[in-house]
Structure 1
């Protein structure tokens, strides 16, 4: 039975499912091309668009489930050449470099665009039309020259819009930049003279939902050739393809959400094209192109426009990196000065507030306050004492342990509206939530007049059964709004350096005042609980776990020959799971016993320790055919316990190696340096990184960041590292940038500084 895999539920998007609309599996393609999906191993046709029959003059049923050659057996297409091309692409995994392939089919010229998704090779055919190839090359060359020059970023953005318009010939080309809340602003525009300008207008985040933004990061160019055309459904054979909709994430023909079609029609747009602008792997903005009549831009021209946009993305990366690195270096220097002042004065308050460099100088804040020992110490412009007291009490109710930041404080804490001109944004580090002690920075309100392209609130209609439905707004006439209660956002560098300062302050606080903070009873209870927990883990869990593993191995050994493949796989999963559980138990035991283990302090030859660790990690990674390089810089001696120091660097380096497995050339670097009273080591990798705003529980037991979910781990390793560093009276801090770099730093006091 032939079945359509089209998603019929898209005719109405209600209030609850708009954000989860499955736009990557619509079950349709746009009508200007046709699609065939074949299995990668045998080239058998599994999916096909209905309109394919119009091109080859045959019924869909005639070739579903048959070899690819059957599709073109009665056409003038050289099927053997097509199969040869697919074999090359499959063997070399070079689809993107090979696209497009130009073919003549029944008297018409077509561009074939191919990609592979899981076990399917997807072939998409689009009309091949004449392009102004020489002009495209000239425009790309000019864009490259500009990127290498010293032109301002605004000039580059405007010229990019102009060049894309020349390449594709649309009526309007806009560069659209996203803000932190994902609403967008038109920052550059090239248009036909008769069109009203959109430059400077803002669009709400709901215009481009979350799942659409994710697709823009994967599929960088998107064209809608004719808003009014009827999409063609995709068919498969029930039982062969399980009737599942074809995943069109990487498709060039993927059909359009009905709600987006309605949106474009309301704007008077009949054709559109968008090109993604990325910064450090994330969506910075879009080049959005509109045309008042249907207009198809063929694949080579779209690729030329894409190259121009990628040059702009490179310029964004380069200019922003220069700015960020300069700012980060400056505030890191100020933080080091603060640390020196605290240690010299042996006084947290004096070190942070009573020198030319104060805690205010590690951010772009206009004011800061240290709440310490029931006293407020102010720097710069801050709210009055009663407002600070209320804010500190509120922070104590919030679920964070290390750092808290917001650029919309009055939305979270309504009393802040009374002092929004001073503190619409705050960055706070918790020194002790139990004692209500914080260091808080303030940024003032930035009042903005935002002009939206129409009222950003989408109209809602109610169906006969009472179900509410969202519809795109029908008017795009300028609609002004005053935005209040918002400050300049906090930079990752500000958050990173604030976390480092917290470590410095807590070190002094711990060494001076922990004895008098009435922790002895709490520690005694905690140790008793850990002892009970250790006993449970070692006796009540390890014994049955060993039995599970032992019996599973016996069954596999005795019954292995008669087992089917599925049963063998399940038993292997049992063995793998028991091994992971044994590893977790081992880590928990190590963590629980560490606090009571006597330390054997001695000078350590770090080269010997690191060489052993590197050799062990490289043996494991070489078995995985990893392209991993572990480099050393300076390696000054560390004064510490050899077993525990080995554990620290084993965790940090193995973590760095693990999270670089997606990098084409993975590099882990270990570098040490000495200051006047401590030795600092930094382990840097070029792996997946993480957003500093999501790292507030980095050292909590069993806590892992969302982007690390696909990597093996227990969530115990960094907790162990933190505890060892605390036992050595040292510090640990980190800085990371998503998809770019992660650096963990640990410090050890020198021999004469260790108690």
Structure 2
């Protein structure tokens, strides 16, 4: 699009300052003025208009629609019977001065003709009849030799679906145009004003002289003599077209296409006629919207039983994914003419029908998560144009419809359409063919590849309905889980409070039992025999063991009550600190093999220290007494969890597979107190801490060959570090 402020030369454009002086003017001032455009900058508007005309101009309301003001013989310059279209903005006034159209009063009475148009539109029964009627009437009423409907798809491809032709032009019906032939920037010209009358003039467009002062957008998008996209001029020159009428059509507020009128002669449509055509466009757009909505509603009613069965399948299934995989109806029945579909929901991934590979689909969905709005449904009939890797699987997915199922765009349903190969007649040469200058718009037949059948409004409605239902089901299940989780949380907190209170209160009588037993030995030990003294010592030993049990229970309850301070922790530091404490009670220092380049572990440093304390203490305890313990701490990068897991391994007695889950229970021991000291609480504490960190712990072991405890925390950040 041109960046300078230029206009078509059949009209004159003037910008007035708030003080009423000429601030800018197009470089085509009226003849007989005796001065060029530049000489008028700074002059008062009275140089060009009479006092009566200026009064009417100054009465223009801000941001209101222009009201035509006839320019009479009483003006200071001869405007040749033209009219002035004033537009007021806070920064001043813009005046568009244009000639009046030829008198059509004998064949054109706006009110009656518009009513006649409306009656003709209402009499049509199909969209094709509607568009043909509008083309025929616009062509004959205004003298265009050819009038065509130019539909625009979601990829900005154009297609001539309807044509009126009086025989003076070659036929264009069925011809396709590429996105480059009429770019999106050209569509923007119709965002504010739906009608554009383009006339080729000797010398081409004229530029604005002076400072347009904030009226750039008005000049480019609002006025009748605004410039078209540059390729429109190229199209007119190559095909010897003198005049083009452009009328934008909308469906549900979105650009649907255009009606173009072509003429070999100059046809000037003044503001009054452009307003009439704008109203015709509004009637046509309303009829298009109504017909599409009616068609969608009819299809909706016809497929209601299919939707009901799909919902019933989902409601009866254990999971949403299970319900979506049912064969009657299939997801491929919900959106017809699709060859395959994929579901990614709640960490489950499945495909149905013919699809790209799982890896290709997951990569595609990862890309979609970055570019698709979570509230929208994304469709494309030429996927490789926006996602180049799709060129590798056009046989299954040239077209795609992506339906996000959550706001984070991590859950999806995707439908695929295979490549639809067809021979297409284009109205222009392929840009890659590098056409010679002046020969771009030639009819060429090509085999079009990489495209699927287009996605329709009916397809989108079916997908949108399923999306809404699944979101409702998932949210309902989430609400149920939230309620259950809240109840479990309350029960857990009550259990923790109960454990803490009971354990704390039990310590007082235990201290009394132990204390009285000690007093009894001191005061009466000499008066009782050896068997009696042994019984007293047994009381004291059991009181001590009970006290240790209570201490272990308190430690376990603190795991759930302690507030986590999450940070990146060095495994090397945690192990070294733990071994310093453990070696203080060992007859000889125990060495631990630390693997190099372990990542940091994310979690609460104090609680992670407890984890390593219990795991390393057990590794030492259950190692053979005949040789030094062999203990290794390391990290595995490839495992079932994906992100890796840390481990503590020993060469001790090992744990039988049937008992590997039992050892994490409270007071569960596989050996006797006599053989190995302990109370069976340490691993329960370890598991509680790991679960508190969102992780898991597991065992790999063979009896007599040692045990490996593997665990991870989540979330954590893996960072390479070097050992000293």
1:83 correspondence with 2:54: yes
1:210 correspondence with 2:184: yes
The normalised TM-score by structure 2 is 0.57
1:251-272 alpha-carbon deviations (Å, 9 max, x no partner): 2223456554333212222332
Alignment of 1:170-569 (within 5 A): 170-236=144-210, 247-255=219-227, 260-327=232-299, 338-354=310-326, 356-366=328-338, 367-368=340-341, 370=343, 382-383=353-354, 387-395=356-364, 397-400=366-369, 405-409=379-383, 420=394, 423-428=397-402, 439-457=413-431, 473-489=439-455, 491=457, 492-504=460-472, 506-507=474-475
Q: Which secondary structure state, in structure 1, belongs to the residue aligned with residue 191 of structure 2?
A: helix
Alignment of 1:148-163 (within 5 A): 148-163=122-137
Which structure 1 segments of 5+ residues have no match?
1-20, 73-78, 462-469, 533-755
Structure 2 distance, partners of 1:167, 1:451, is: 30
Q: Which residue of 2 aligns with 1:95?
A: 65
1:257-292 alpha-carbon deviations (Å, 9 max, x no partner): 655433321222233221222223332112212222
Shift of 1:472: 6.2
Of 141, 165, 168, 2:115 maps to 141
Q: Which residue of 2 aligns with 1:28?
A: 6
Does the aligned pair in 2 maintain the 1:183–1:202 contact within 8 Å? Answer: yes
Q: Which secondary structure state, in structure 1, belongs to the residue aligned with residue 31 of structure 2?
A: helix
1:59-108 alpha-carbon deviations (Å, 9 max, x no partner): 44554223322323xxxxxx2332232233227x5434x23646445372
Shift of 1:484: 4.2
Shift of 1:141: 2.5
Alignment of 1:727-738 (within 5 A): none
Tell me: CA distance 1:89–1:420, structure 2 relative to 1, closer, same or farther (3 Å): same
Structure 2 distance, partners of 1:529, 1:323, is: 60
1:52 correspondence with 2:29: yes
Tell me: CA distance 1:330–1:109, structure 2 relative to 1, closer, same or farther (3 Å): same
Shift of 1:493: 2.2
Q: Which secondary structure state, in structure 2, belongs to the residue aligned with residue 112 of structure 1?
A: strand
Q: Which residue of 2 aligns with 1:623?
A: none
Structure 2 distance, partners of 1:494, 1:245, is: 39
Shift of 1:411: 5.8
Q: Which secondary structure state, in structure 1, belongs to the residue aligned with residue 369 of structure 2?
A: coil
Q: Which residue of 2 aligns with 1:716?
A: none
Does the aligned pair in 1 maintain the 2:421–2:447 contact within 8 Å? Answer: no
Q: Which residue of 2 aligns with 1:123?
A: 95
Does the aligned pair in 1 maintain the 2:60–2:88 contact within 8 Å? Answer: no
Tell me: CA distance 1:307–1:415, structure 2 relative to 1, closer, same or farther (3 Å): closer
Does the aligned pair in 2 maintain the 1:36–1:123 contact within 8 Å? Answer: yes
Alignment of 1:700-719 (within 5 A): none
1:693-722 alpha-carbon deviations (Å, 9 max, x no partner): xxxxxxxxxxxxxxxxxxxxxxxxxxxxxx
Structure 2 distance, partners of 1:261, 1:160, is: 25
Shift of 1:213: 0.7
1:369-411 alpha-carbon deviations (Å, 9 max, x no partner): 55689998776xx127xx5434444345434186765433566
Tell me: CA distance 1:69–1:325, structure 2 relative to 1, closer, same or farther (3 Å): farther
Structure 1 distance, partners of 2:454, 2:470, is: 22
Shift of 1:458: 6.8
Structure showing greater radius of gyration is 2
Structure 2 distance, partners of 1:188, 1:404, is: 28
Shift of 1:530: 10
Tell me: CA distance 1:58–1:219, structure 2 relative to 1, closer, same or farther (3 Å): same
Q: Which secondary structure state, in structure 1, belongs to the residue aligned with residue 314 of structure 2?
A: helix
Tell me: CA distance 1:331–1:408, structure 2 relative to 1, closer, same or farther (3 Å): farther
1:71 correspondence with 2:37: no
1:581-639 alpha-carbon deviations (Å, 9 max, x no partner): xxxxxxxxxxxxxxxxxxxxxxxxxxxxxxxxxxxxxxxxxxxxxxxxxxxxxxxxxxx
Tell me: CA distance 1:123–1:512, structure 2 relative to 1, closer, same or farther (3 Å): closer
Does the aligned pair in 2 maintain the 1:331–1:363 contact within 8 Å? Answer: no
Of 138, 141, 152, 1:164 maps to 138
Q: Which secondary structure state, in structure 2, belongs to the residue aligned with residue 476 of structure 1?
A: coil
Tell me: CA distance 1:282–1:428, structure 2 relative to 1, closer, same or farther (3 Å): closer
Does the aligned pair in 2 maintain the 1:443–1:487 contact within 8 Å? Answer: yes
Q: Which secondary structure state, in structure 1, belongs to the residue aligned with residue 261 of structure 2?
A: strand
Tell me: CA distance 1:160–1:531, structure 2 relative to 1, closer, same or farther (3 Å): farther
Shift of 1:197: 0.9
Tell me: CA distance 1:157–1:49, structure 2 relative to 1, closer, same or farther (3 Å): same
Q: Which secondary structure state, in structure 2, belongs to the residue aligned with residue 54 of structure 1?
A: coil
1:110 correspondence with 2:82: yes
- Higher mean C-alpha deviation, range 138-147 or range 452-461: 452-461
1:108-156 alpha-carbon deviations (Å, 9 max, x no partner): 2112222234523211111224321353335432220022234321112
Q: Which secondary structure state, in structure 1, belongs to the residue aligned with residue 85 of structure 2?
A: strand
Tell me: CA distance 1:360–1:189, structure 2 relative to 1, closer, same or farther (3 Å): closer
Structure 2 distance, partners of 1:70, 1:438, is: 67
Shift of 1:211: 1.7
Structure 2 distance, partners of 1:371, 1:227, is: 59
Tell me: CA distance 1:320–1:102, structure 2 relative to 1, closer, same or farther (3 Å): farther
CA RMSD, Structure 1 to Structure 2 (Å): 4.3
Does the aligned pair in 2 maintain the 1:26–1:257 contact within 8 Å? Answer: no
Does the aligned pair in 2 maintain the 1:459–1:472 contact within 8 Å? Answer: no
- Number of equivalences: 479
The normalised TM-score by structure 1 is 0.55
Tell me: CA distance 1:34–1:332, structure 2 relative to 1, closer, same or farther (3 Å): same
Structure 1 distance, partners of 2:36, 2:414, is: 70
Does the aligned pair in 1 maintain the 2:429–2:440 contact within 8 Å? Answer: no
Does the aligned pair in 1 maintain the 2:341–2:351 contact within 8 Å? Answer: yes
Structure 1 distance, partners of 2:131, 2:144, is: 17
Higher RCO (C-alpha under 8 Å, 6+ residues apart): 1
Shift of 1:182: 1.0
Structure 2 distance, partners of 1:118, 1:275, is: 29
Q: Which residue of 2 aligns with 1:736?
A: none
Structure 1 distance, partners of 2:387, 2:184, is: 26
Structure 2 distance, partners of 1:203, 1:445, is: 19
Structure 1 distance, partners of 2:178, 2:248, is: 18
Does the aligned pair in 2 maintain the 1:429–1:498 contact within 8 Å? Answer: no
Does the aligned pair in 2 maintain the 1:27–1:245 contact within 8 Å? Answer: no
Structure 2 distance, partners of 1:327, 1:488, is: 17
